[in-house]
């Protein structure tokens, strides 16, 4: 304090020791622009395309940027900037396919969204009609039967898996007390989570095949397959939600002389209901898009079938699959592709809506669980 020579207020021009060897602000943007230009040059040497351009620009930037930082600030800063650029690159890489998928479905699906698609089935539609159809609007036939199938099969699967899943979660949280049975169930629920969906389909097919004769294929068989896939999701989520219900609530209820089952039904489950409901919605959203198990269990129908217990059924995912793999008119697949993309659009909208609903449920009732 005796002298003021140390104070920079007196000599503001002197170079700060802290900023020595810092990269100038323009360095990274300039390298970025240079990389874009150089990328364009190299890409046009090979044969210009936007993908190549982006690729070369990114590679040049990822190499030159960190090297320049290393030259100015040293290896540590260089490594840090390399990782920063890589992280941002990875993020862009992950977003591109999502945008591309949604864009593809929208562009290809919107022209096919006709009244016919939602109100008619493929019954009686043959390659003859498809070959005649010129403009997108002239395509006949639709996905009504597939929507019917999706709704019925999902309905039965939900009806079977939700009570079983819910009760199992109640058992695990409220009754098992960490016993061997509880641990065994937890373990096997984890195992079930990992069952490939096609294997679940094979199981249902094998089960009904042995009981009702080979090649028994109905909507209900598919619903059983989906139940196998849905139960672990419901159990895991419900279990998690029940566990965050504070024990004080249970004890308060017991202290009033309320029986355990009434406590569970009237106190525990209502407290966790929003989380449970949103979990069930997410589970539905997951199985509604399942394709593989339906291929081996529900058969393939072109007509409307509301009866899940007899006759083949088609759902939206299998409808999409068969329209792409086996177009109605093999020589002119465009009408089939149009129907497939329109059905894909409907399916994506349904799945997104279910996700949104799940979020809204969780949010709408959130204050009730805020006591934790």
Partner 1 sequence: MSTTVSTEKPGTSSSAAGRAGDSVFSGLSLAAGILILVVLAAVAMFLFLQAVPTFTAAPGDVTGGKGFFAYIWPLVVGTLIAALIALLIATPVGILVALYISHYAPARVAKPVGYVIDLLAAIPSVIYGAWGATVLAPALVPLYTWLTGYLGFIPFFGGPASQTGKTMLTAGVVLAIMILPIITSMSREIFTQTPKLHEEAALALGATRWEMIRMSVLPFARPGIISSIMLALGRALGETMAVALVLSTGPLIPSLIKSGNQTIAAEIALNFPEAYGLRMSELIAAGLVLFLITLVVNMIARAIIARYKEFSGAN
Partner 2 sequence: MSKRIDVEHLNVYYGDFLAVQDVSMNIEPRSVTAFIGPSGCGKSTFLRTLNRMHEVIPGAYAEGKVLLDGDDLYGKGVDPVTVRSMVGMVFQRPNPFPTMSIRDNVLAGVKLNNKRISSSEADELVESSLRGANLWNEVKDRLNKPGSGLSGGQQQRLCIARAIAVKPEVILMDEPCSALDPISTLAIEDLINEIKTDYTVVIVTHNMQQASRVSDKTAFFNIEGTGKPGRLIEYAPTSEIFNTPQKKETEDYVSGRFG
Which positions from 257 through 286 interact with partner 1, judged by CB under 8 A? 257-262, 264-267, 270-271, 285-286
Among 40, 113, 249, 303, binds partner 1 (CB under 8 A): 249
Instruction: Identify which of residues 16 and 215 has a Cβ nearer to partner 2 in the complex.
Output: 16
Tell me: does residue 7 bind partner 2 (CB under 8 A).
yes
Tell me: does residue 194 bind partner 1 (CB under 8 A).
yes
Q: Stretches 9-17, 32-40, 121-129, 198-206: which one binds partner 1 (CB under 8 A)?
A: 198-206
Among 41, 48, 49, 76, binds partner 2 (CB under 8 A): 76
Q: Stretches 3-11, 63-71, 159-167, 312-320: which one binds partner 2 (CB under 8 A)?
A: 3-11
The 3 state secondary structure assigned to the chain is CCCCCCCCCCCCCCCCCCCCCCCCCCHHHHHHHHHHHHHHHHHHHHCCCHHHHHHHHHHHHHHHHHHHHHHHHCHHHHHHHHHHHHHHHHHHHHHHHHHHHHHHHHHHHHHHCCHHHHHCCCCCCCHHHHHHCCCHHHCCCCCHHHHHHHHHHHHHHHHHHHHHHHHHHHHHHHHCCCCHHHHHHHHHHHHHHCCCHHHHHHHHHHHHHHHHCCCCCCHHHHHHHHHHHHHHHHHHHHHHHHHCCCHHHHHHHHHCCCCHHHHHHHHHHHHHHHHHHHHHHHHHHHHHCCCHHHHHHCCCCCCCCCCCCCCCCCCHHHHHHHHHHCCCCCCCCHHHHHHHHHHHHHHHHHHHHHHHHHHHHHHHCHHHHCCC
Tell me: does residue 205 bind partner 1 (CB under 8 A).
yes
Tell me: does residue 44 bind partner 1 (CB under 8 A).
no
Tell me: does residue 326 bind partner 2 (CB under 8 A).
no
CB of 70 to partner 2, least distance (A): 14
Tell me: does residue 197 bind partner 1 (CB under 8 A).
yes
* Contact pattern for partner 2 over residues 19 through 58, marking x by CB under 8 A: x--x--x---------------------------------
Q: Which does 22 bind (CB under 5 to 8 A by kind): partner 2, partner 1, none?
A: partner 2
Q: For residues 143 and 53, what is the distance between their CA atoms, to the nearest angstrom? A: 41
* Contact pattern for partner 2 over residues 77 through 116, marking x by CB under 8 A: x---------------------------------------
Q: For residues 312 and 294, what is the distance between their CA atoms, to the nearest angstrom? A: 10
Among 3, 13, 17, 257, binds partner 2 (CB under 8 A): 17
List Cβ neighbours of 214 (8 Å cut-off, separation of 6 or more). Answer: none
Tell me: does residue 6 bind partner 2 (CB under 8 A).
yes
Instruction: Identify which of residues 23 and 286 has a Cβ nearer to partner 2 in the complex.
Output: 23
Q: Stretches 95-103, 118-126, 127-135, 139-147: which one binds partner 1 (CB under 8 A)?
A: 95-103
How far, CA to CA in Å, does 299 sit from each of 113, 222, 304, 310?
A: 25, 9, 13, 11
CB of 184 to partner 2, least distance (A): 33
Q: Which does 68 bind (CB under 5 to 8 A by kind): partner 2, partner 1, none?
A: none
List Cβ neighbours of 369 (8 Å cut-off, separation of 6 or more). Answer: 244, 245, 271, 272, 274, 275
Tell me: does residue 247 bind partner 2 (CB under 8 A).
no
Q: Stretches 17-25, 113-121, 172-180, 243-251: which one binds partner 2 (CB under 8 A)?
A: 17-25
CB of 82 to partner 2, least distance (A): 15
How far, CA to CA in Å, does 80 sit from each of 9, 87, 334, 371?
A: 33, 11, 50, 42
Instruction: Identify which of residues 10 and 95 has a Cβ nearer to partner 1 in the complex.
Output: 95
Among 60, 122, 146, 185, binds partner 1 (CB under 8 A): 185
Residues that bind partner 2 (CB under 8 A): 1, 6-8, 14, 16-19, 22, 25, 76-77
């Amino acid at each position: 304090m005796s002298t003021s020579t140390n104070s920079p207020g007196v000599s503001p021009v002197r170079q700060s020791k802290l900023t020595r060897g810092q990269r100038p602000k323009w360095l990274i943007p300039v390298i970025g622009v240079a990389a874009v230009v150089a990328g364009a040059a190299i890409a046009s040497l090979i044969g210009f395309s936007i993908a190549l351009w982006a690729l070369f620009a990114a590679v040049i930037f990822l190499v030159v940027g960190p090297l320049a930082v290393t030259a100015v600030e040293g290896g540590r800063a260089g490594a840090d900037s390399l990782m920063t650029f890589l992280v941002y690159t990875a993020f862009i890489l992950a977003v591109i396919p999502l945008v591309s998928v949604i864009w593809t479905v929208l562009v290809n699906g919107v022209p096919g969204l006709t009244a016919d698609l939602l109100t008619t089935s493929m019954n009686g539609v043959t390659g003859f009609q498809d070959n005649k159809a010129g403009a997108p609007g002239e395509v006949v036939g639709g996905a009504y039967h597939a929507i019917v199938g999706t709704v019925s099969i999902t309905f039965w699967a939900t009806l079977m898996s939700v009570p079983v899943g819910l009760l199992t979660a109640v058992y695990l949280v409220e009754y098992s007390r960490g016993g061997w049975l509880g641990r065994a169930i937890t373990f096997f629920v984890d195992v079930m989570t990992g069952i490939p969906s096609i294997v679940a389909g094979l199981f249902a097919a094998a089960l009904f095949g042995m009981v009702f004769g080979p090649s028994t294929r109905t909507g209900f068989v598919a619903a059983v397959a989906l139940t196998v896939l849905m139960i672990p999701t419901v159990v895991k989520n419900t279990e998690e939600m029940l566990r965050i219900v504070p024990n004080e609530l249970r004890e308060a209820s017991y202290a009033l002389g309320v029986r355990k089952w009434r406590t569970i039904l009237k106190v525990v489950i209502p407290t966790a209901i929003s989380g449970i409901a949103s979990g069930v919605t997410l589970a539905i959203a997951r199985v509604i898009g399942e394709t593989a198990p339906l291929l081996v269990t529900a058969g393939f129908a072109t007509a409307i079938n509301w009866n899940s217990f007899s006759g083949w059924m088609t759902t939206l995912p299998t409808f999409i699959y068969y329209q792409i793999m086996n177009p109605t008119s093999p020589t002119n697949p465009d009408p089939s592709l149009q129907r497939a993309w329109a059905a894909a659009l409907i399916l994506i909208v349904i799945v997104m809506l279910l996700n949104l609903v799940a979020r809204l449920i969780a949010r709408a009732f959130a204050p009730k669980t805020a006591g934790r």
